[in-house]
Amino acid sequence: MEPWTRTQSAFAVKALYEDGDIFVIAQREFRRKFGIHRSRVAPSVHAIKTGVRNFEATGSALKKIGANVKTVRTSENIAAVREAIGRSPDRSACRHSVSLGPTEANVRRLLHKDLHFYPYKIQVTHVLRELHYVNRVNFCQTFLQLVNQNQELVNNLLMSGEAHFH
Residue pair 36/10 in contact (Cβ under 8 Å)? The answer is: no
Domain boundaries, the chain: 6-58, 75-114, 125-155
CA pair distance 77, 94, nearest whole angstrom: 15
What's the distance, Cα to Cα, between the start and end of the chain in Å?
59
Nearest to 31 by CA among 4, 1, 50, 55: 4
Q: pTM (2 decimals)? A: 0.38
Q: What is the pLDDT along the chain (166 residues), one digit of tens a residue?
A: 456 677 777 788 788 878 777 878 888 888 888 888 877 777 778 877 877 787 777 777 666 665 566 678 888 889 999 999 899 888 888 888 888 888 899 999 999 998 998 877 777 888 888 888 999 999 999 999 999 998 888 888 877 767 665 5
